[in-house]
């Protein structure tokens, strides 16, 4: 027998999101920091030294406050990551009055650009439970709005955004993982990275189990590979959506 139907000690945890608490009325002393400052400082650290370097202690030191002071602004480190995600998400600016296709394309390119400019973003997305921050929600709204009036039901509209979004995140994540690995291991140039992987690649090819992959490594023009692949994939996605929905 499991007496689980009255145990609300753990059940209805109504977590209030940080966004709802952002500008609370002032009673007591004036806060010395703003959420914006905190997010910005966190982004700076992450950009310079990677996401692992963003600790509450380091962040507090950079802001000139005690470590625990930060917890007056964020309820946990996850909250901090949400702030940081939202901060860099603000860098995305979409053209007004564009059709859904141009809008989606612009969103895709810019989300990728943000992800590459802030390589920690991918890892942050994977860690944070509630990644729908206001600045991202606003862009969702923009794209949904551009799809309105095309005789689509709302599920289809959301599916369009979801598909583009999924592709961009996956593609960017793939690119970023490699760069971050390079940074962590102290490599600086693309050339150095290729050199570091060389023994492993050689070993793989020597196994003779991956002939087609081997051909790609030998014949492939690894010139601007990632950028080209992204644009190729994106256009495929947009074409596929347009055709399937007749828009």
Partner DNA sequence: ACAGTCGCGTGTACGACGTACGCTGTTTTC
Partner DNA sequence: GAAAACAGCGTACGTCGTACACGCGACTGT
Residues that bind DNA (CB under 7 A): 24-33, 53-58, 65-69, 71-73, 76-78
Question: How many angstroms separate the CA atoms of 172 and 121, rounded?
Answer: 10
Regarding 240 and contact with a copy of itself (CB under 8 A), the answer is yes
**Shortest distance in whole angstroms from residue 67 CB to DNA:** 5
Question: How many angstroms separate the CA atoms of 99 and 147, rounded?
Answer: 8
**Shortest distance in whole angstroms from residue 66 CB to DNA:** 3
Residues between 120 and 139 that touch a copy of itself (CB under 8 A)? 122-123, 125-131, 137-138
Region near a copy of itself per CB under 8 A, out of 32-40, 66-74, 84-92, 150-158: 150-158
**Shortest distance in whole angstroms from residue 71 CB to a copy of itself:** 19
- Closer Cβ to DNA, 85 or 241, answer by number: 85
Binding partner at 27 among a copy of itself, DNA, none, C-beta below 5 to 8 Å by kind = DNA
Spatial contact of 81 and 127, defined as CB atoms under 8 Å apart: yes
Number of shown-chain residues binding a copy of itself (CB under 8 A): 84
Vertex 180 angle, CA 238 and 135, to 5°: 50
Helix residue ranges, H only, the chain: 35-49, 56-63, 77-89, 100-117, 121-127, 134-147, 154-184, 190-206, 211-219, 225-245
- Binding string to a copy of itself for residues 38 to 67, with x set by CB under 8 A, is what? ------------------------------
Q: What tokens appear for 36 in the block?
A: 């914006």
- Closer Cβ to DNA, 59 or 111, answer by number: 59
Residue 106 gets which letter from DSSP?
Answer: H
Regarding 211 and contact with a copy of itself (CB under 8 A), the answer is yes
The residue whose two tokens read 């994106």 is 234
Alpha-carbon torsion angle 228, 231, 232, 235, nearest 10: -170
Binding partner at 6 among DNA, a copy of itself, none, C-beta below 5 to 8 Å by kind = none
Residues between 9 and 38 that touch a copy of itself (CB under 8 A)? 10-17, 19-20
Q: Which residues of 42-71 are buried (b: 16+ CB within 10 A; e: fewer)?
A: bbebbbeeebeebebeebbeebebeeeebe
Regarding 204 and contact with a copy of itself (CB under 8 A), the answer is yes
**Shortest distance in whole angstroms from residue 134 CB to a copy of itself:** 8
- What's the Cα-to-Cα distance from 208 to each of 161, 194, 214, rounded to whole Å? 41, 21, 8
Regarding 71 and contact with a copy of itself (CB under 8 A), the answer is no
Regarding 165 and contact with a copy of itself (CB under 8 A), the answer is yes
Spatial contact of 140 and 161, defined as CB atoms under 8 Å apart: yes
- Closer Cβ to a copy of itself, 106 or 165, answer by number: 165
From 2, 5, 25, 200, residue interacting with a copy of itself (rule: CB under 8 A): 200
């Amino acid at each position: 027998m499991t007496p689980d139907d009255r145990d609300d000690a753990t059940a209805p945890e109504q977590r209030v999101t940080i966004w709802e608490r952002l500008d609370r009325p002032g009673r007591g002393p004036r806060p010395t920091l703003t959420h914006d400052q905190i997010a910005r400082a966190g982004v700076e650290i992450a950009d310079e030294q990677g996401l692992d370097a963003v600790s509450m202690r380091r962040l507090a030191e950079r802001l000139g406050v005690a470590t625990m002071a930060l917890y007056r602004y964020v309820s946990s480190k996850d909250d901090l990551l949400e702030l940081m995600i939202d901060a860099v998400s603000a860098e995305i600016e979409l053209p007004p009055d564009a059709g859904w296709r141009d809008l989606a394309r612009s969103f895709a390119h810019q989300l990728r650009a943000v992800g590459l400019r802030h390589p920690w973003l991918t890892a942050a997305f994977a860690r944070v439970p509630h990644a729908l921050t206001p600045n991202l929600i606003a862009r969702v709204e923009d794209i949904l709005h551009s799809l309105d009036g095309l005789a689509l039901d709302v599920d289809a509209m959301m599916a369009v955004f979801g598909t583009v979004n999924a592709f961009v995140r996956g593609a960017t994540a793939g690119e970023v993982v490699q760069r971050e690995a390079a940074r962590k291991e102290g490599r600086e140039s693309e050339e150095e990275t290729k050199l570091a992987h060389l023994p492993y690649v050689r070993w793989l090819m020597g196994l003779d189990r991956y002939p087609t992959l081997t051909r790609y490594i030998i014949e492939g023009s690894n010139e601007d590979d990632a950028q080209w692949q992204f644009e190729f994939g994106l256009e495929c996605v947009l074409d596929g959506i347009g055709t399937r929905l007749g828009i």
